Chain A
C-alpha cells in the first residue's frame, strides 16, 4: 500500500506549475486576451494551478502553427512518424508514476487506475498506432488489362480535437495517436475541468514532436471549442461529450463540409442470465465483479454499465450479493493505491448526480445501498464524493434512460431472452453493453442482437487497442481504438491510370 504525497507538497513524485499557458508552435504562449482560470482538484476542492483562458485569437494562432507543420509532417516517412509515436510511448513509460499522480490529482480518480489502466493503455495506444501505420497498405485495383486504380491514404491536414475530462490523458491519446500517425497536425482543446494534466504529458514528450504538429489551446467550450470546431481552416473535428454539443459540432462541420467523429455516451445495459448462478464458482464471482463495474472511475465512463438487467430466476440472490460487493468498495483518498472509488471530477458533476438520485427516488425506484453525498474528513472535506449507489426500478424511469455519469446503477429484472433484448435496446443510446452467460450460444446471440458498438461478453470495462470502440444510435459516429480510426484521419486518393497507347475513340 502506498499513499502518494499530494502534488505541490514535499516529497511528491510530481509538481504542477502555478500557471499553464497555451502550447502553440512548440512553445508556451500567453493567451491573447491575458485571462486565466483557476483549476481545482476534486480531491480537496482546492485550486492547484491556473490555466490560460483561450479565445478565438489563440485558436487562430494555433491553427497557423499547425498549418506551418502539417505539410512536412504529412510527407514524413512512415518510419519517422511511427518512430515519434514509439518514442512518446517509451518516454511515458519512464514517467508513469508522475503522469498517473498528475491525472489522479486533477480528475479525482483512484491513482491505482491511472497506474494500471489509464497511462499504460495510453502508452500501448501510441505503440499500436505506430504499428498500425507501418502495416497500412493502399490498394491496387486492376480495372482492365491496361487500366489500374491506385489507392493512397493521405493526411487530412489540420484537425481539431475536443477532449473530455473523464480520462484526460487516455482520451487525448485515443484521438492524438491515430491523428498523428496518419500525418495530421493537431489543435487540441482539453476539457476545462481537466486542463492541466495534458501539459504534464506535454512537458514529458514535447521535444519528441516536430514544432507545430501538436498545439494545445486551453479554455472554455464557448470561447475555444466553438471557434475551433467551427473554423473553416480545420479539415476534421473529433469530439467526445454529450448529444447537444455533438449536434452543434456536427452543425458546424456541415457548414464547412468537413468530416466529424463524435462519441456521445450511452446508457449501457449489463445483462446477467440465470445460468451465471449455476455454480458459486470463480465465474460467478467474476460476474458479481462485472455488476460492480458501474463504480469504476466513479461511473464517469461513457460505457458505464449503469443499467443492470438480471434474469428473474436469480434476481433476488444475485442482486443481494451485488449490493454486498458494492458495499465493500473502498472509497477514499484517490492518491492511496488501495482506494477503489475516488472523487467526482467537479462540483457540478456532483450536483447533477445528486439531482438524479432525487428524481430516481421520486419516481419510486428503491435505493438498495448508497444514495448520499459522502462528507470526507480532513484535507478531503472539500472534495466531491458520492456513495456507490444501487437503485432497483424499471426501464421507463429516467435513471434508466439518462447518463448520470456517477457511481449509480439502476437494476431491473427480465423474464426471458426476448425480454432482455427488448429492455436492453429500449434506450436512445448504443455505445456499450455487457452480456454474462455460461452458454456460448446465448451470449453470442445477445451480443449480436444488442444495438451497441461494443458488447463485452463475460467481461466488462476492458479497453485494449485493436478492439473497435464507438456507438450505435445516438451514441455517435465513428470508431476509435482500432486501425480503422486511421481512415477517419485520412483522405483516400485514387489515381486512375491508363497504360494504354490507344484512346477510347469517343471523339
Chain B
C-alpha cells in the first residue's frame, strides 16, 4: 500500500471552474469559507462567505479544506452535524453554474452560483474514513 492509498480520503473537492471563481472571490473579499445549506429556495447549495462571517458552532462538522492554487490559505468546508448524518456516505464536489444565486453567498452578484455535485463514496473510502 502506498501513501496515497493509505491517506484519509477527501470528502470534498472542487472543479477547475469553481477554483477559478474562488481565486477571484479571494482577491475581492479576502480569506473564504463554505457552509453547506439545507432547506428551501436556495438551500441544498453551498454558501461562500468571508472566513469567519458565518460562525460555526459545536453542531457543525468540518468536512475538509479546499486547497486551491493561488489562494494562500485553505478554504474550509462546513456542514451542520445533523445534515452531515444524511450526507456522510457521499463525496462532494464544489462546481459552479450560471445563475442568479441568492442567500448571502459572495458569488451571486457575478451571475454564477456554486453547486454541489455528489458521488457515492466507495466502500474502501468509507472504511478508511472511519479509520
* B83 at the A interface (CB under 8 A): yes
* A429 at the B interface (CB under 8 A): yes
Chain A residues within 8 Å of B109, by CB: 37, 53, 220, 222-223
Interface string of A335-370 (1 = CB under 8 A from B): 000000000001111011001101100110000000
* A2 at the B interface (CB under 8 A): no
User: Which listed segment binds A: B4-12, B15-23, B36-44?
Assistant: B36-44
Chain B residues within 8 Å of A173, by CB: none
Q: Are A474 and B38 in contact (CB under 8 A)?
A: yes
Chain B residues within 8 Å of A359, by CB: 90, 118-119
- Which A-chain residue is minimally distant from B120 (CB atoms)? A362
Q: Are A428 and B54 in contact (CB under 8 A)?
A: no
Which A residues from 282 to 321 make CB contacts under 8 A with B? 302
Which A residues from 121 to 152 make CB contacts under 8 A with B? none
Count A-B contacts at CB 8 Å.
162
Chain B's interface size range is 35 or more
Interface residues on chain A, number (Cβ under 8 Å):
52
Interface string of A175-192 (1 = CB under 8 A from B): 000000000000000011
Among the listed A192, A398, A428, which residue makes an inter-chain contact with B118, where contact means beta carbons less than 8 Å apart? Answer: A398
Q: Are B104 and A245 in contact (CB under 8 A)?
A: yes
Q: Nearest chain A CB to B117's CB is how many angstroms away?
A: 6
Residues in A lying within 8 Å of B, measured CB to CB: 37, 53, 164-166, 191-193, 220-223, 225-226, 240-248, 251, 263-266, 302, 346-349, 351-352, 355-356, 358-359, 362-363, 396, 398, 401-405, 428-429, 474-475
Please measure, in the bound complex, the distance between the C-alpha atom of A346 and the C-alpha atom of B38, giving whole angstroms.
18
Q: Are A192 and B38 in contact (CB under 8 A)?
A: no
Q: Nearest chain A CB to B107's CB is how many angstroms away?
A: 9
Q: Residue among A264, A351, A474 with the most chain B CB within 10 A? A: A351
Q: Are B105 and A222 in contact (CB under 8 A)?
A: yes
* B103 at the A interface (CB under 8 A): yes
Residues in B lying within 8 Å of A, measured CB to CB: 35-45, 47, 49, 53-55, 80, 82-83, 86-87, 90, 97-106, 108-109, 111, 113, 115-120
Chain A residues within 8 Å of B113, by CB: 348, 351
Contact of A245 with B37 at beta-carbon distance under 8 Å, contacts A220-B108, A222-B108, A226-B104 already known: yes
- Which B-chain residue is minimally distant from A360 (CB atoms)? B118
Contact of A251 with B90 at beta-carbon distance under 8 Å, contacts A220-B108, A223-B109, A225-B104 already known: no
Please measure, in the bound complex, the distance between the C-alpha atom of A251 and the C-alpha atom of B35, giving whole angstroms.
14
Chain A residues within 8 Å of B105, by CB: 221-222
Contact of A396 with B54 at beta-carbon distance under 8 Å, contacts A221-B108, A240-B40, A405-B41 already known: no
